Amino acid sequence: MGAHAIDAGDTGNAGLYARRRIRNVVAIAMSCLTAGFGLFFLGWILWTLVTKAIGGIDLQLFTRMTPPPMAEGGLLNAFFGSAVMCALAIAIGTPLGVAAGTWLAEYGRARKAGTVVRFVNDILLSAPSIVLGLFVYTLFVMQTGGRFSALAGAIALAFIVLPVVVRTTDEMLRLVPTQMREAALSLGVPQWKVIVQVLYRSARAGIVTGILLALARISGETAPLLFTAFGNQYWNSDIMRPMASVPLVMYQYAGSPYESWQQLAWAGALVLTAFVLLVSLIARALLLRNRVAND
């Protein structure tokens, strides 16, 4: 009777293991199928972008201004405008984001205010960019007499940078071991020096990675700039006046009936994609370098 019980138990276990193996195979197959489905369409999009844009990549794309209809030209003023507004947005959003993330990690952990700030930051992180553009339009553009400007565009982009840097700084500082804080404080080092000289150095790679990812995100934003920077067909270096940007030019030229404008839109999209790819690779390299250093 005992032998029969053991045989029945072995048979039940074998059936259980067989069902688990089947489920595992099905799950892996579905995961691979889903990944392949996504990669196929991603490759299709990239192939279409390269084939349509490669003919417009030449020297005049980077040396000539945006042209009038039925004329040849480039995107020099748009590249300059995008660089200026992205740089201003990073300059505005990064110090505020690092300061807020530091407060959350070091002072707001056990406070209700910290929970509220994290909740508001998460809302801002997921807010549609067009809403942020409308907010800056109401807050800044209308208050300056309806004057569109590169500064207004940079402020709108800074609202996108801010929550990304806050979240990254908060998470990176919280990953720093508590023993490092305690060791520095036990030597009589003031807390602000502990944060600046110990914690920031340990979390530097992660914070810089967050800033780079924020830069990659804002470089392709169009909606906030429609209500703030407005765009400019001519060269402009005054941040208090309307300024061109690559996403705005792509938006305007892609739907135009002129083939030359459409070609410029595709070329600008390819350059912008390459820039985002480069920034993402740099961010990944920083993370891997920091991981290797820690190991």
- What is the per-residue pLDDT across 53-81, written as a single tens digit (0 to 9) for each? 998 899 999 999 999 888 889 999 999 99
Mean pLDDT along residues 100-117: 87
pLDDT number for residue 148: 94
**What's residue 283's pLDDT?**
86
**81, 150 Cβ separation under 8 angstroms:** yes
**How many whole angstroms separate alpha carbon 87 and alpha carbon 39?**
32
Do 86 and 157 contact (CB within 8 A), yes or no? Answer: yes
Q: Facing residues of 230 across strands? A: 243
Q: Residue range 139-158: average pLDDT?
A: 93
Q: Read off the pLDDT band of 16 (50, 70, 90).
A: confident
Query: Mind listing the pLDDT tens digit for each residue in 197-207?
Result: 889 988 888 89
Report yes or no on whether pTM surpasses 0.95: no
Residue 278 has pLDDT above 80, yes or no: yes
**Span 224-239, average pLDDT:** 92
DSSP secondary structure, the chain, as one string: -HHHHHHHHHHHHHHHHHHHHHHHHHHHHHHHHHHHHHHHHHHHHHHHHHHHHGGG-SHHHHHSPPPPTTS----HHHHHHHHHHHHHHHHHHHHHHHHHHHHHHHTSTTSHHHHHHHHHHHHHHHS-HHHHHHHHIIIIIGGGTS---HHHHHHHHHHHHHHHHHHHHHHHHHHS-HHHHHHHHHTT--HHHIIIIIIHHHHHHHHHHHHHHHHHHHTT--HHHHTTTB--SS----TTS-B--HHHHHHHHHTSS-HHHHHHHHHHHHHHHHHHHHHHHHHHHHHHHHHHHH-
Query: Mean pLDDT throughout 162-166?
Result: 95
